Structure 1
Amino acid sequence: MSTVRGTALLGFKAFCASQGIDPASALAAVELPEDPLDARLSGAQFNALIDLCAQRSHNPLFGVQFGLRQGTQSLGTLLYAMRSSGTVGEALNLLTRYFHIHSDGALVQLERQAGNALLLYDVTDGTFISVRQTVELAMGIASCLLRELLGHAWQPKSLLLRHSAPANRLAYRALLGVAPRFDSPVNAWVFDESLLTTPLSTTDARYQQLARQHIDELARVTLEELPSYLQKRLRNELAHGPVTLHDMAEYMMISPRTLQRYLRAQGSGFQALLDQTRRSMAARYLCDSSLSLTQVAGLLGYADLSAFSRAFTRWNGVSPQQWKQRMQHLPR
């Protein structure tokens, strides 16, 4: 089960009030305490809370607006360490390395592609089917972070979102300065790669050292966390093609045999984790996006649609088409 730091709900009550929602009632509906800031929240409860608030407020932009209102304050110690970095690129590398302290059910990555930088975000907890609101909340926070680090130099090229476009898609431009490209293969802010070299104002070097020591202590990964870590890597790599045990072992700089032994010690195995990851990603794509089944098959690393359809039917007892039709008739 994934978790989120309670600080992810900083400013939640005031924002709910501005949206005409009773925050105490919303928290109680998902079985969260009335004062959640000092708690470690269940990722499922957090995701359900943001989704519920979007429904109760009749505001499909609730998530992104809450992210923009909250800004970077929820990142806590990690934000101070980032501000102490030498460049924007170094700051974002810290974010990708330590974000799991803030939320261990999501993954942040920084990639460079053809002169562009991509700050990517993905909810890796496969138990959630729809994550539209949570993703948009995170992208709103990321927008605030990049604007804080870059100032007037922050000029995004595009915002990519995996889920399908809502009816009021033009409202995003007013909020974010850019109209998102929906039904994209990833969730990402895209901007000029040269901005990564932008220098940041230096701060107390001793404070920076203490901040990094603190997050290093929190970031120690145990053997028990290996299956979850591996699933995060699988989610990132599957869109680029089939992923094998050998690929993952090479990335982790251990032998395939050692990786399998570690996974067996945790009651799991590579193929089981691969199936679980594909199954949860498939459900999310079919629920949240308008991608074709052939596109979904490719994003899950299948060679063709028939291979994906056979696997999906084995997991769920119905074909992808039948499953999607059932989901469309459920209340959302």
Structure 2
Amino acid sequence: MNVNPFVRALSLSCFEEFASSQGLNPVEMLRRVSLPAELLRRPEGILSYRRFCALLDLCELQSGNPLFGLQYGLHQGVSIFGPLLYLIRNAKTVGAALTELRQNYSLQNGAAEVRLELEGELAVLSYHIIESDLPGVCQAEELAIGIGVKLMRTLVGGSWQPGAVLLRHAPLTDPAAYRRTLGLIPTFEASCPGLVFSSDALDLPLNSADVTLHRLLEEHIGNMERLTADDLPCHVKQLLRNLLPSGRVTIEKIADCMAFNPRALQRRLAQEGISFQDLLDETRQSMARHYLEDPSISLAQMSGLLGYSDLSAFCRAFHRWFSVSPREWQKQHCPNKQPHLLRSRRYKPS
């Protein structure tokens, strides 16, 4: 079992808009659950699913709307799938599209899985959270139901309705409010959250299918990083890439984003044979090489984007990594772009 699963920041798609419509300050909601506002601008970033559930729980409480998660899911719709949406929509049939979703869902969410099962003439599209007792999990499951409804309407048609909606918990408000939102009253206290519909829908062709594009998308998605807790160093580096441009990043800040105790994170990394400082240096080196290839970024700007307090600290670190100054490195590797780098007049070669 994953100890600390993650989701893409793409899961926060449309959060600012929807939270504001509910009378909430989106940035303040994020701050109160220790999530950086930068995630709203970095959909490729990652966050702890525990923090995501806590955010939904807080928003339900502060908005006074028990169906916050469900309505947010209907508002988000397929926007949360990112590149995966194009793979889904270019499958040949609805059944093939849902199979793509099931097989590739870990690109988006390492904290849950999607299942598609047949029960006689019925199909059940269900959602299973690994840590099913998290605070706010009811909101997260209802959000998934809302997204599932919008996905099926995207694939089958805007008037599609499930035969039944399953929810694992008791009603969060008057069941009539669910009817107004979904068009039907769910079956509560079911074994898992899901959508039940005729299996005939699985054979419906998708008019948007493009076989060549589907193959290219498969290749692209095959190279994408899946979100499992097994590759903790990779997730730490992802967070570092997201947070460094906003200032100095410490292990305490990274651990907080991941809902870890800092010492526990240090121990986990040590078990992987690496330290936080190693990951910080590796990430900064990779980012520095990338920025040096961009003629619009000066050295002074670069040092800030890498989380250094001043230019000299960045230059000393760069020399320690590569045994040359940033200017010499650029002369060797990007000779055509080197003059643009010298916009930073404060820099003096080491």
Category of TM-score, reference length = shorter chain = 0.5 to 0.7
- Match of residue 218 from structure 1: 224
Report the Cα distance in structure 2 between the residues aligned to 1:223 and 1:30, rounded to whole angstroms.
21
Residue 2 (structure 1) aligned with residue 2 (structure 2): no
Matched-pair contact (CA < 8 Å) for 2:7–2:227? no
Residues 1:47 and 2:53 aligned together: yes
Report the equivalent of 1:32. 35
Amino acid at match of 1:132: C
Distance between the aligned counterparts of 1:220 and 1:10, measured in 2?
19
Q: How much does 1:175 deviate?
A: 1.3
TM-score for both structures, normalised by structure 1: 0.65
The TM-score with structure 2 as length reference comes to 0.61
The offset of 1:129, in angstroms, is: 4.6
Q: Please state how far the C-alpha of 1:218 moved relative to its aligned partner.
A: 2.8
In structure 1, what is the equivalent of residue 121 of structure 2? 115
- CA shift in 2, pair 1:73/1:170, >3 Å: same
Q: Which string of whole-angstrom CA distances, capped at 9 and with x for unpartnered residues, describes residues 118-159 of structure 1? A: 000011135725410000011100000001100056231100
Question: Given the superposition, is the C-alpha separation of residues 194 and 204 from structure 1 closer, same or farther in structure 2, using an over 3 Å criterion?
Answer: closer
Task: Tell me the equivalent position of 1:317.
Answer: none
> 1:223, 1:31 → 2: CA distance?
20
Report the Cα distance in structure 2 between the residues aligned to 1:21 and 1:221, rounded to whole angstroms: 30
SS of 1:185's partner is coil
| Amino acid in the other structure paired with 2:51 | Q
- The answer to whether the Cα contact below 8 Å between 2:91 and 2:211 also exists between their aligned partners in 1 is no
* 8 Å contact kept, 1:159–1:187: yes
Aligned counterpart, 1:135:
141
CA distance in 1, matches of 2:199, 2:149: 16
For residue 181 of structure 2, the aligned residue among 175, 178, 194 is 175
1:81 aligns with 2:87: yes
Q: 2:64 is matched with which residue: 53, 58, 78?
A: 58
Task: Give the 3 Å change call, closer, same or farther, for CA 96–3 of structure 1 in structure 2.
Answer: same
Note the 1:161-200 alignment, pairs <5 A: 161-200=167-206
8 Å Cα contact 1:98/1:219 also seen in 2: no
Tell me the CA shift for residue 166 of structure 1: 2.4
Cα RMSD over matched residues? Answer: 2.1
Once the two structures are TM-superposed, the CA of residue 222 in structure 1 deviates from its matched residue by 8.6
SS in 1 for 2:106: helix
Give distance in 2, aligned partners of 1:77 and 1:167: 35
How many Å separate the matches in 2 of 1:220 and 1:40?
Answer: 11
- Give, in angstroms, the shift of residue 199 of structure 1: 0.4
Q: Cα distance, 1:206 vs. partner?
A: 2.8
SS at match of 1:170: helix
Query: Match for 1:208: what amino acid?
Result: H
C-alpha distance 74-220 of structure 1, shift in aligned 2 (>3 A): closer
1:167 is displaced (CA, Å) by: 3.0
Does 1:68 find its partner at 2:74?
yes
Please give the alpha-carbon distance, in whole angstroms, between the structure 2 residues aligned to 1:62 and 1:221: 26
Structure 1 residue 17 and structure 2 residue 20: aligned? yes
Q: Shift of the alpha carbon at 1:204?
A: 3.6
**C-alpha separation in 1, matches of 2:85 and 2:172:** 32
Q: What's 1:272 paired with?
A: none
User: Partners in 1 of 2:35 and 2:160 — Cα distance?
Assistant: 36
Aligned-pair CA distance for 1:205: 2.9
Match of 1:276 in 2: none
**Count of equivalent residues:** 227
TM-aligned CA distance change 1:130 to 1:29, over 3 Å: closer
CA distance, structure 1, for counterparts of residue 112 and residue 37 of structure 2: 24
Query: 2: distance between equivalents of 1:19 and 1:2?
Result: 28
3-state SS of paired residue (2:157): helix
Q: Residue 63 of structure 1 aligns to which amino acid in structure 2?
A: G
